[in-house]
């Protein structure tokens, strides 16, 4: 499965969702009984997912698969990470340059890699951490995506950002990636306040059954787990197992749905 995780506003928990979904994938097995393997494609020039995963090498990265001249195959830019069973295509500050020089050929690189099965021998699931800015890099990621999760906070601005990402995804689906499907909206850092519940209810009316339940609760230890210790929520413990369980449930639902559609 090629899973994209996107957002319309910063601070929506996109990178957290991408990392936790990748970890959730490695806790399941293929039909043949082998443990599933995941790759994280870090399309965010900030490189937060890359920092957490601590790639074995940063000499090459996702920018090289999107290069305008002599691009590297995606197969060649995936490197091991410190998370067992997870490869990463690292991001660095030079990835931002691709927004200016991404060619029509390069913008479809991830789509071609998915359709050709280029990395099927390496991984079972590909998780694409999409950037906040909805531009060429984001479009390249969406062209490679089959299943899109949109992350948002239960705020007015968060709902607006989710709408923006939905609009962009629907345009990409019509114009170049008919396999792209919005699999759900993930509400992150949810506080049980009156205003949050009101906005969540409005988002439910807007997005219907694709608003995933339950919302991911706010937990002050989440940044400590990922940002400071570079550790999945489940392995960090300290009460973060609830967060890990929710992302595992979202992944499992998607996997079951994908298996049923075959």
Q: Is the pLDDT of residue 10 over 70?
A: no
- Look up the domain containing 152 and give its range: 2-260
Q: List, for residues 93-139, the tens digit of each pLDDT value.
A: 889 888 888 899 999 999 999 999 999 999 999 999 999 878 899 99
Does residue 44 or residue 12 have the better pLDDT? 44
What CATH number did the domain enclosing 61 receive? Answer: 3.40.50.300
Name the token pair of 163.
Answer: 């709408």
Q: What pLDDT was estimated at residue 260?
A: 61
Q: What is the pLDDT of residues 40-86, one digit of tens each?
A: 999 999 999 999 999 999 999 999 999 988 999 999 999 999 999 99
Domains identified in the chain, total number: 1
pLDDT at 100: 87
Match 């449930």 to its residue by tokens: 249
pLDDT (0 to 100) of residue 226: 94
**Ramachandran angles phi, psi of 78, nearest 5°:** -85, 130
Task: State how far the Cα of 99 lies from the Cα of 259, in Å rounded to an integer.
Answer: 35
The bridge status of strand 79-80 relative to strand 86-89 is antiparallel
Q: Write the CA distances from 114 to 79, 140, 147, 186, integer angstroms.
A: 18, 12, 12, 24
Closest among 163, 76, 89 to 127, alpha carbons compared: 89
- Among 40-44, 157-161, 163-167, the range with the most confident prediction by mean pLDDT is 40-44
Over the stretch 173-218, which tens digit does the pLDDT of each residue have?
Answer: 999 999 999 999 999 989 889 999 999 999 999 999 999 999 999 9
What was the pLDDT predicted at 182?
Answer: 96
pLDDT for position 8 = 72
pLDDT value at 150 more than 70: yes
């Amino acid at each position: 499965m090629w899973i994209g995780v996107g957002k319309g506003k910063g601070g929506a928990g996109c990178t957290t969702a991408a990392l936790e979904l990748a970890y959730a994938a490695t806790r399941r097995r293929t039909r043949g009984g082998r443990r599933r393997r995941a790759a994280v494609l870090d399309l965010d020039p900030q490189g937060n997912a890359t920092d957490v995963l601590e790639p074995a090498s940063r000499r090459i990265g996702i920018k090289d698969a999107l290069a305008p001249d002599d691009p590297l195959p995606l197969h060649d830019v995936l490197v091991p990470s410190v998370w067992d069973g997870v490869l990463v295509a690292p991001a660095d500050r030079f990835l931002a340059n691709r927004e200016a020089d991404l060619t029509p050929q390069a913008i479809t690189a991830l789509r071609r890699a998915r359709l050709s099965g280029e990395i099927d021998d390496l991984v079972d699931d590909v998780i694409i951490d999409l950037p906040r800015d909805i531009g060429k890099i984001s479009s390249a990621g969406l062209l490679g995506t089959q299943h899109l999760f949109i992350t948002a906070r239960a705020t007015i601005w968060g709902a607006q950002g989710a709408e923006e990402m939905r609009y962009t995804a629907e345009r990409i689906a019509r114009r170049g990636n008919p396999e792209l499907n919005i699999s759900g909206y993930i509400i992150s850092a949810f506080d049980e306040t009156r205003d949050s519940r009101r906005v969540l209810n409005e988002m439910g009316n807007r997005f219907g059954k694709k608003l995933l339940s339950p919302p991911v609760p706010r937990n002050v230890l989440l940044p400590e787990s990922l940002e400071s210790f570079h550790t999945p929520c489940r392995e960090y413990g300290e009460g973060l197992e609830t967060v890990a369980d929710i992302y595992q449930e979202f992944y499992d639902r998607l996997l079951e749905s994908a298996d049923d559609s075959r």
